[in-house]
Amino acid sequence: MHCDIDLNLTHQEVDPSLFEPIDYNQIPKLFLGFIIKNNFEFNALQCNDIVKDRAHLCGFEGQIEPVYLRGIFMDPSPAVEKIIEKLEQIISIDVNIIFNQYIQILNQFNLSCNNTYAYLMDGIYPIDIIHLNKVTQNKDNQPKSYVEYASEILHEDKVPWFFTPELKLLILTKSNTYILKNT
């Protein structure tokens, strides 16, 4: 398949106006999708109609920065709701403290972020995709596989052959940095 996407777009930032801000009154949320880091990913990640582009405000090195997301919100399992309660008790903007406390929380629920810890920041808490069925609650109570979710979200026929995106599973919360700067 021929691809018209310019690889130079990897050096261009995403246009923030293309993303709808997540209403802070509507989080925490469980999110399944992609973090969009540059214009290449924005153009290459062709998704189906159920997918939305969102901007989530997170704390990063004491500043508030948007993280751009493309994906869907999921119905969290009761375990995730308990994790969220525990996350709300973390009152730090230091990523090392957040990381250590979050790992302890995940361990209590036999979950991990071994493959996704690089996405952890104040306001975003990743969970390894292998735990997808443990943390989501389907309306029909039938577990779905990663492949089924990927095919629902990603328009695979329109993604360049050399680009292999991987779904991320994230808990989105209010960042402590955002809360501190707005009080």
Q: Which of 1-10, 47-56, 58-67, 117-126 has the highest mean pLDDT?
A: 117-126
Output the CA angle 72-9-62, nearest 5 degrees: 65
- Whether 2 is covered by a domain: the verdict is no
Domain count, the chain: 1
**Model pTM score:** 0.85
Residue 114 belongs to domain spanning: 7-181
- Whether 18 is covered by a domain: the verdict is yes
- Whether 1 is covered by a domain: the verdict is no
Which range among 7-16, 30-39, 111-120, 131-140 shows the weakest confidence by mean pLDDT? 7-16
Q: Tokens at residue 124, please?
A: 């975003």
Burial of 89 (0-12, 13-18, 19+ CB in 10 A): exposed
pLDDT over 80 at 173, yes or no: yes
Dist CA 153 CA 48 (whole Å):
5
Rounded alpha-carbon distances, angstroms, from residue 88 to 13, 27, 154, 172: 31, 11, 32, 11
* pLDDT digits 0-9 by tens, 15-25: 899 999 998 88
Q: How high is the pLDDT of residue 1? A: 39
